[in-house]
Structure 1
Amino acid sequence: MTAEMIVVIIAIVLMLVGLFFEVARPDLLVFFTLFFFLMMGYVTPEQALSGFSNEGMLTVALLFIVAGVFERSGLVERLVAAFLAKSNSERSALTRLLIPISAFSAFLNNTPIVVTLTPIIRKWASAHNISPSKFLIPLSYAAILGGTITLMGTSTNLVVHGLLLDTESDGFSFFQLAWVGIPITVFGLIYLIAAGPRVLPDNQSLIEKVRENTKDYLSEMIVTNDFPFQNQSVEEANLRNLKGLYLIEIIRGSNRITPVTGQTKIFAGDRLLFTGMLSTIADLQKRKGLELDTGTDLSLNDIQQNGTQLVEAVVSHQSSLIGKTIKQSRFREKYKAAVMAVHRNDERVQGKIGDIVPKAGDLLLLVTGHDYDQQKEHRDFYTTSAIEEQKFYESEARGWFALILLLTMIALVTFQVLSIFKAMVIAVGILFITKIISPHEARKSVQFQVLLLIASALGIGNVITATGTAEWIGSQIVHALAPVGALAILAAIYIMTNVFTELITNNAAAVIMFPIGYEVAGAAGIEPIGMAMLVAIAASASFLSPIGYQTNLIVYGPGGYTFKDYIRTGLPLTLIVMVTSVFIVYYLYM
């Protein structure tokens, strides 16, 4: 091992540790690690930046645009809601839910599918007196499994496909992954439908918890006639930066003002609703003209009136909220909503709301008004509770047109008339020409932070290869496991990739493990395409934690889950998928 390899391994380990402990956004950590390697001269600028022109990465960008059309059309939600409407039992609902979800996920980005279906499932579960926690983890797992069936099922498949193309291989055909993807999806769904209701917890939603303990979250004060700041703004009345308290709503007769800004006027008779550290409310009582209403029977139903709603939202991995306090992010002004509470690991985060620094996976309880637009916050956090009178930007007819267009492109790719990249370029071009999507909407659909992560990770993959690190690690694995056989080597690569996925992100895990797996395949006599399939499947098969895959993170807070719930439910599924994948790859590609 050379000194150069040692530095590369240490830097990558530090990057992985940083990703695990969320010291910064994933895309920035990976990008600065690549920048370090470039400054050290371990890779040329062309090699470092090649990921930004990688065909797989560019295809992912185009798929974001196509998926955005479906997301705005509401087509998937309407179809799944129709399936659920005919269910009257838990297991029947799981069957009717998971099978179409896995099918949709084979052709569409599974993250928006899970985001948009979570509120529908929670609403159905509430109407049938069933805990939504019985459905949300299976929803995420079914979306992950379905994504392994086709080339476009998940960004991980496209990233590995792009890496194969860089090796002068033909890459994956459209349904090549289905040799493994269909069996693991079938076995996985059977397990989830049969065992899911028994192993999953029966949890309340955050809104239900708050409903039962409203006084722990809300306090009401009345503005009397001797209040010295009548007809003045909240900021002038010194109610803007209170110690541990947060003014979320003003009730004025039959009107409700939400969110409350610094310029909102205060009048006698106003009822002020506060949340935060309610133990500090005594300090506010000392102010002249403010009277604590100790006899109030305030409930969440009182808040949810006249267009005001309580909404749950999950902070995303790529959120701009991460690393800043809620106050610094100007939350109320930016999102037209007030934060009532923040829950992390199923526990309420104590302290003043404005001073809380959100983390990925945090569950926010928001008080929203008429002008709240859940599409606007799309990349910072995901709304996971039902929004009354939700309107979609696109008509259902446009959704059907986009679906037919996508199926046509898939047929052309399947019969090798077009490559997946060319097909997506044509599809996006037609969507622009027909004005089904505008350039502005297309830009909003693209998750640039995800693309930066993928492109930077591809550059790090080139570093691992160019410095000989991948070859050295691969030779050590083959040397250690050759006496045991090829099955052990395949299992080792699968486990390593899967562990990385659970600790960091799926795309980064795939990019780091691909060059190692490629070298192992050459040394062990395994076809490279088979090893690439194994890495792609293992990188997607994140079932043991909420942090390895975006869909797991989305359902983490709304389901009230703990890490133990993912391990208890996901460990058998992980073993099923691993054993099935390893044996199929062994018999097809040895």
Structure 2
Amino acid sequence: MIPPSPHAIGAMLIAMMAFWFFARGRVRIEIVSLVLIAVLAIGVYFFPIEHEGSYSGLEIAFGGFSHEALIAICSLMILGRGLVVTGALEPAARILIRLWNFSKLLGLLFSLVMGGLMSMFVNDTPVLVLTMPIMINLAIRAGVPASKTLMPMNCAILIGGMATTIGTSTNLLVVSIAEDMGLPRFGIFHFTEIALLAALVALPYLWLVMPHLLPAHSATDEQLTRRFRSILIPTETSSAIGLSLLELREKAGDTLDVAGAIRTGRLQTDPQYIVQSGDSIEVEGTSTQVEDFGSAIKIPLLRAATQEMMKAFAQDDGGDHVTAELVIGADSALIGQTIISAQILDRYGIAVMGVHHPVQDIFPQRLRTDNDRLEIGDVLWVRGSIPALEQIQIGEGVMMLEGAVEIPRTAKASLALLIFAGVVLLAALHLVPIAIAALTGSIVMLATGCVKFDRLGRALSAKVIVLVAASIALGRALLETGAAEWLGSSMALGMQGLPAAVVVAAMMAFATLITNFSSNTAAAAVGTPIAVSLAEQLAIPAEPLVLAVLFGCNLCYATPIAYQTNILIMSAGGYHFRDYVRAGLPLVLLMICTLSVLLVWKYGL
């Protein structure tokens, strides 16, 4: 056998070193990615690859920044932000939250199944972009860290995507290469039976085991559990009018406390008291619980007059409204004042929607919340423009906690959904590549104001961008230097005389290896010809080996660089490289064993 070229040896060493640094996690992933690109650029520049049709060193190293995969990922991030900031997914989230509140386990199971089924017919990436904001929203409201749910959801979508030929572009690539090499064309559901049986085996792991292997970055986050005392003022159209306090408490459930109704300055706590027009309802709960309860009984968090005053201030400073939390410092001018006497709305155009007193018992005997004196450490739940929030921090000695959330521009929710649906439809029907569809959709989002151009940076992640570019560069280096081909040839030579079942498993493991360290496109391009050639040499059917490659290309769970959806969840879930290895590697091994057994059983090998 011909030994690997010096370029191939260098590419394999660089790949191993990059994986080592990615896996250890001691150096920031964006630094490793940039160093990887620099090493490839310098190495191939001074030691160029000389064969017909090869890329230059600069094309290999920097081509990832203009690659369609990176364009697609960035565009899909913008589309996802458009769905979030317009509140387009809020109705779906409210329906699912009921199931999650009833049972978190059943809620996660239902979400995993639905994600997998959708990805059978729609490309994996749009399905993840559609479901990721919902999962984050659900996780916060149900009190479960997003890091516990995003990776299982991503894996369920990837497993569903390998069940049909149209599930992923990689499936189509493998099928097309196999057809070019003389195999019959696979139908849409040609291998669905095998994939679904494997999915049934993987589902318990995704549902019950994987969440326990993942970090809980937000499980103890005080911001998710901080409880605010708020006043809700029913309008004439509110469903709270005519209900007793007992009925309101039943609607609120166990998580939100309804203290009572305020009538002429006095707090009415009798469970049989009937809420009347002109009353105010005092509640205590997290910000999301208060919002959900207000929506359920049709009470806006802010009165119409308050909203009009805020709009007037927003016109003056030109800022969008956000919700935020302000903590009162030791030198704050608000200490000892009440919300009313501080005149925060009149002076800054900021509405206070709730107050958190860290050291007070829940609902002590007192008059209405507005009359409570503010103390050091109290937290105000407010809504206002960014310029106004900056002014109050300077003027009143308060500090804004991280995590300010933009108020959804609900007037554009339908438009954002329509734009996203158009992108999904174009990509699902393969009318245009997903990169073109997503880029067009993101441009329309910006043009229509669903996403504002000056907020574009919040949708994009620099870490994700350099990681994608580095992974594309590494994949190109392995292909152009002949390293991937040499590995495949070595594998074919070593499997001479082995049982067909072992060959199937080894072929799948080989494709999986390339997928997780290079790209699924590289795995398909290199693995499919090897599978057909190997089947001829070993005198076994080519179809199971080709399917082994196809399935292996989809087993991209063990590294963030394996597939673009892995990278999409990285920032949102707060994952590190080692999290993918710890939670994804067992799933890879489980799927290789399961799919290999099913292929051997299906084809009688």
TM-score range, shorter chain: 0.5 to 0.7
| Structure 1 pair 500–55 and aligned structure 2 pair: CA distance change class (3 A) | closer
**Displacement, 1:469?**
1.9
- SS of the residue corresponding to residue 307 of structure 1 reads strand
For residues 138 and 44 of structure 1, what CA distance do their matches in structure 2 show? Answer: 40
**Displacement, 1:141?**
0.8
**Displacement, 1:119?**
5.1
**Displacement, 1:578?**
2.6
Q: 1:88 aligns with which of 96, 102, 105?
A: 102
Q: Alpha-carbon deviations, 1:393-422, whole Å to 9, x = none?
A: 874323332343234324532xxx444445
For residues 585 and 84 of structure 1, what CA distance do their matches in structure 2 show? Answer: 39
Map 1:383-402 onto structure 2 (within 5 A). Answer: 391=408, 395-402=412-419
| Structure 1 pair 77–35 and aligned structure 2 pair: CA distance change class (3 A) | farther
| Structure 1 pair 251–562 and aligned structure 2 pair: CA distance change class (3 A) | farther
Greater Rg by CA: 2
Letter in 2 for 1:73: T
For residues 215 and 483 of structure 2, what CA distance do their matches in structure 1 show? Answer: 44
| Structure 1 pair 453–208 and aligned structure 2 pair: CA distance change class (3 A) | closer
Letter in 2 for 1:27: S
Structure 1, unmatched stretches of 5+, are 126-131, 213-246, 257-295, 310-332, 338-366, 376-389
Q: Alpha-carbon deviations, 1:415-440, whole Å to 9, x = none?
A: xx444445445544554565544555
> Does 2:138 align with 1:120?
yes
Provide the residue aligned with 2:332 in structure 1.
252
**Displacement, 1:205?**
2.6
Letter in 2 for 1:537: N
Q: Alpha-carbon deviations, 1:302-343, whole Å to 9, x = none?
A: 74522389xxxxxxxxxxxxxxxxxxxxxxx99x99xxxxxx
Aligned Cα RMSD in Å? 5.7
> Does 2:487 align with 1:473?
yes
Map 1:8-87 onto structure 2 (within 5 A). Answer: 8-22=11-25, 23-24=27-28, 25=30, 26-39=32-45, 40-42=47-49, 44-45=55-56, 48=60, 49-86=62-99, 87=101
Q: Alpha-carbon deviations, 1:164-204, whole Å to 9, x = none?
A: 99999899999999777655545433554567899999999
**Displacement, 1:524?**
1.6
Cα pair 2:478 2:484 within 8 Å, conserved: yes
| Structure 1 pair 403–201 and aligned structure 2 pair: CA distance change class (3 A) | closer
Provide the residue aligned with 1:137 in structure 2.
148
For residues 465 and 565 of structure 1, what CA distance do their matches in structure 2 show? Answer: 24
Q: 1:517 aligns with which of 510, 527, 530?
A: 527
TM-score, normalized by length of structure 1? 0.55
TM-score, normalized by length of structure 2? 0.54
- SS of the residue corresponding to residue 593 of structure 2 reads helix
| Structure 1 pair 8–570 and aligned structure 2 pair: CA distance change class (3 A) | closer
**Displacement, 1:461?**
2.8
**Displacement, 1:535?**
4.0
Cα pair 1:494 1:538 within 8 Å, conserved: no
For residues 457 and 197 of structure 1, what CA distance do their matches in structure 2 show? Answer: 26
| Structure 1 pair 459–167 and aligned structure 2 pair: CA distance change class (3 A) | farther
**Displacement, 1:477?**
1.1
| Structure 1 pair 50–449 and aligned structure 2 pair: CA distance change class (3 A) | same
Percent of aligned pairs sharing the same letter: 14
For residues 466 and 404 of structure 2, what CA distance do their matches in structure 1 show? Answer: 27
For residues 480 and 501 of structure 2, what CA distance do their matches in structure 1 show? Answer: 28
Letter in 1 for 2:7: E
Provide the residue aligned with 2:422 in structure 1.
405
For residues 446 and 191 of structure 1, what CA distance do their matches in structure 2 show? Answer: 31
Map 1:95-494 onto structure 2 (within 5 A). Answer: 95-102=109-116, 106=124, 108=126, 110=128, 113-114=131-132, 117-118=135-136, 120-125=138-143, 132=144, 137-150=148-161, 183-193=197-207, 205-207=219-221, 249-250=329-330, 252=332, 254-255=334-335, 303=377, 305-307=379-381, 369=400, 373-374=404-405, 391=408, 395-410=412-427, 412-413=429-430, 417-428=431-442, 430-431=444-445, 434-437=448-451, 445-447=459-461, 449-485=463-499, 487-494=501-508
For residues 299 and 509 of structure 1, what CA distance do their matches in structure 2 show? Answer: 56
Letter in 2 for 1:252: S
For residues 476 and 10 of structure 1, what CA distance do their matches in structure 2 show? Answer: 17
Letter in 1 for 2:96: F
- Point out the structure with the larger helix share: 2
For residues 451 and 164 of structure 1, what CA distance do their matches in structure 2 show? Answer: 30
Cα pair 2:328 2:379 within 8 Å, conserved: no
Letter in 2 for 1:475: S
| Structure 1 pair 29–204 and aligned structure 2 pair: CA distance change class (3 A) | closer
- SS of the residue corresponding to residue 252 of structure 1 reads coil
For residues 551 and 137 of structure 2, what CA distance do their matches in structure 1 show? Answer: 34
For residues 464 and 425 of structure 2, what CA distance do their matches in structure 1 show? Answer: 27
- SS of the residue corresponding to residue 330 of structure 2 reads strand
